[in-house]
Amino acid sequence: MKATVAITLTAGLPVALASAILNPRVIGPDEPTDRYKFVVSIQDSKKAHSCGGMLLDSTTVLTASHCFRNTTDAGFVVAGKTNLEGTGGVTVKISTLQRPLHKPYNYQPASAKDRMSDIGIIKLATPIEKSDNIEYASLPTSDAVPDGSGELTAVGCTTLSWTGTKGDAVFTVANRAEVLLEQQPISTCESSPLGDTSTLICAGKPGKTVCSGDSGGPLIDSKTGAVVGLTSISKRNDDGSSCTGAGLFTRVGSYLDFINENLGERGFTDGDNQRVKDEAKLAVLRPGLLASCKKHFQVKYSACMNEATRAFIAGKDADKSKVYDQEVAKCKAIHAMGSACDGCVREAKLDSTAETIIQCSEAGKN
């Protein structure tokens, strides 16, 4: 049982990819499914379905980077629905779109070392919490996937509902569609240069694949439940009427560092749009962080000097002046830490707190 993905056909694509398309759809599903409650619909500003994705936590969605061609931070993520025409579910505004730093999506790798890197993170403006209909996906612990005899499960959707194809007939199912797959040799998918194939998974066959609407959706290890791949590229037949053959999936385990850096309320990005948004928010946060940091060290410095002076006045030792000078030196070191507040605040992130700024100043990192 198998699945496959696709990318947009645009001017300038190599001939070998001329039959590839954006947003695949499950072909030959084994059954509709209300499992995999971490699967979401990524939608444009008009709330039209564009791609699939999966919730990793309350503010993080994993998807294919090529989906960002049709999705912007004016779009939405819909969770908790098995039928996009049905009621219920949770709709949340997209906050930012993020790609692996220095490794943007590359549909035409120039060398064997280049990665396609068809993977991206969406950060949500409002958290989506777990519920009876919403779960978070499990990540693999490495880049390993089941071998040729192992089973993989692809899950997909389309603009109107979760659909599939039996033979030449397209039919609609009420729920998400899933299809079982087995991994194929990468050579089965290598009709054009793929670059670093260690970051890819090939799976599927004619009659068992994905097509329009499923890009960015999960490829799941059926035994462990971990998401090992993302739907990326599939091919249409010559007249473009159907998706055929095995398809390529981004190997999730190859990007665990990127994913882990972006989990949680904050995340990191190389996008100019995100930097602009962050700067506006940080401009509001920095004055308070700086004031708290400086006040902390001023209070400590004053207490230190008061104690040094008290000890000097009460002292009877002939060397009390020397001891006093030593204590004053310690107090000056505290004062210097306060001077480091400015540098630490300049490097603050959106999740920085007064405590983390103080720790930075104490460590002399700026």
- Arithmetic mean of pLDDT, 325-347: 91
pTM to 2 decimal places: 0.62
pLDDT in tens, 175-207: 567 778 778 888 888 777 788 889 999 888 777
In terms of Cα–Cα distance, which of 255, 228, 256 is closest to 3?
228
Sign of CA dihedral 175, 181, 186, 190: negative
Q: Which residues 6+ apart lie within 8 Å of 325 measured at CB?
A: none
**Phi-psi region at 364: left, alpha or beta (left = phi > 0; alpha = psi -120 to 50):** left
Instruction: Give the tokens for residue 223.
Output: 């035994």
What are the structural domains, with CATH classification, of the chain? 15-261 (2.40.10.10), 272-363 (no CATH)
Whole-number Cα distances in Å, 196 to 37, 65, 107, 116: 32, 17, 12, 8
| 163-166 and 169-172 strand pairing | antiparallel
- pLDDT of amino acid 109: 76
Amino acid at 362: E
Environment class of 185 (CB within 10 Å of its CB; exposed 0-12, middle 13-18, buried 19+): exposed
3-state secondary structure of 252: helix
| 200-203 and 183-184 strand pairing | antiparallel
DSSP codes joined into one string, 21-62: -SS---BS-SEEES--TTEEEEE-TT--EEEEEEEEETTEEE
The whole-chain average pLDDT of the chain stands at: 75
Distance from C-alpha of 306 to C-alpha of 197, rounded to nearest angstrom: 66
Higher pLDDT, 174 or 146: 146
**Phi-psi region at 335: left, alpha or beta (left = phi > 0; alpha = psi -120 to 50):** alpha
In this structure, the number of other CB atoms found within 10 A of the CB of residue 227 comes to 25
In terms of Cα–Cα distance, which of 72, 51, 57 is closest to 8?
51
pLDDT band for 151, please (50, 70, 90 cuts): confident
In terms of Cα–Cα distance, which of 200, 125, 155, 152 is closest to 54?
155
pLDDT in tens, 350-365: 778 899 999 999 987 5
pLDDT band for 101, please (50, 70, 90 cuts): low
Burial call 311-345: b when 16+ CB within 10 Å, e when fewer: ebeeeeeeeeeeebeebeeebeebeebbebbeebb
pLDDT in tens, 12-51: 223 233 334 333 445 444 444 568 899 998 888 888 888 8
Whole-number Cα distances in Å, 324 to 106, 300, 314: 65, 17, 11
User: Please, are residues 7 and 194 in contact by the beta-carbon 8 Å criterion?
Assistant: no
Distance from C-alpha of 102 to C-alpha of 257, rounded to nearest angstrom: 13
- pLDDT of amino acid 359: 92
The yes-or-no verdict on residue 62 having pLDDT over 90 is yes
Q: Which residues 6+ apart lie within 8 Å of 153 measured at CB?
A: 36, 178, 179, 180, 181, 219, 220, 222
